Structure 1
Amino acid sequence: MRASDADVTALLDPEFVEFGASGRRWGRESILEVTGSAPEETGRPVRGTGMRGTLLAPGVVHLTFHTDDNGRRAHRSSVWRRHPEAGWRLYFHQGTLTSDESA
């Protein structure tokens, strides 16, 4: 998915914002600079666990989960909006690093 500008663009809401685990603020355009046309990453895939979703309003879902990227653990939170023509798109995401081994 990350290797295709078109796929990343289709996934992200036009108003997308992310506060990454690095502390950096990302927008739709800045994410495209480091995904889409960037060389494909090698190595193990990121492991996601504990995924839970909560309906906040019709067409708006809050998703929480944990990731482990080769020992770099983070709590993650995202808000997804459903668009009539485009389907579900990622509107907001935040990652917070943690030392919690259950993440």
Structure 2
Amino acid sequence: MQAAVDGEMRLLDPEVRASPARVLELLDPDFTEIGASGRRWDVESILTVTSGGSVSPESRVKVSEMSGVVLAPGVVHLTYFADNQGRRAWRNSLWRLTETGWRMYFHQATLTR
């Protein structure tokens, strides 16, 4: 479970998000996300946004209430609360162990007050 938590925290790091190669190391080729906006994302669309200079080093995400559950061997479900400069959301991710390491397979965010 710790490897999934570590990967999640790396993906929230602005320096990692600004590097397509580093993001690709953490996303499963079949990755999908349902963002807080309701938009559906895949690997290509995530890389387009993050490599377009939209990630600011000042946009550190504050994480709290991180918890995880092993759903099956090699599959971890993480949930946590994230505050990105006042944009607050409950987030959940599915991570799976692949031949190349732990990769995020699915992510969803739900905005909250």
Question: TM-score normalised to the size of structure 1?
Answer: 0.89
Unmatched 5+ stretches in structure 1: none
Q: Following the alignment from structure 1 to structure 2, what is the Cα–Cα distance between the partners of residues 42 and 98? A: 24
| Correspondence 1:4 to 2:43 | no
**What residue is the counterpart of 2:62 in the other structure?**
47
- Provide the identity percentage: 58
**What residue is the counterpart of 2:37 in the other structure?**
22
**What residue is the counterpart of 2:105 in the other structure?**
91
| Correspondence 1:79 to 2:94 | yes
> How many residues are paired up?
97
Larger helix share, 1 or 2: 2
Larger strand share, 1 or 2: 1
Q: Following the alignment from structure 1 to structure 2, what is the Cα–Cα distance between the partners of residues 29 and 44? A: 22
Superposition CA RMSD, Å: 1.1
Q: Following the alignment from structure 2 to structure 1, what is the Cα–Cα distance between the partners of residues 89 and 111? A: 4
1:31-82 Cα distance to aligned partner (Å, 9 max, x none): 00011x2224142411011000100000000000000112111000000000
Name which one, 1 or 2, has greater alpha-carbon Rg. Answer: 1
Q: Following the alignment from structure 2 to structure 1, what is the Cα–Cα distance between the partners of residues 44 and 29? A: 9
Unmatched 5+ stretches in structure 2: 1-15
Q: Following the alignment from structure 1 to structure 2, what is the Cα–Cα distance between the partners of residues 6 and 70? A: 26
Moved over 3 A (4+): none
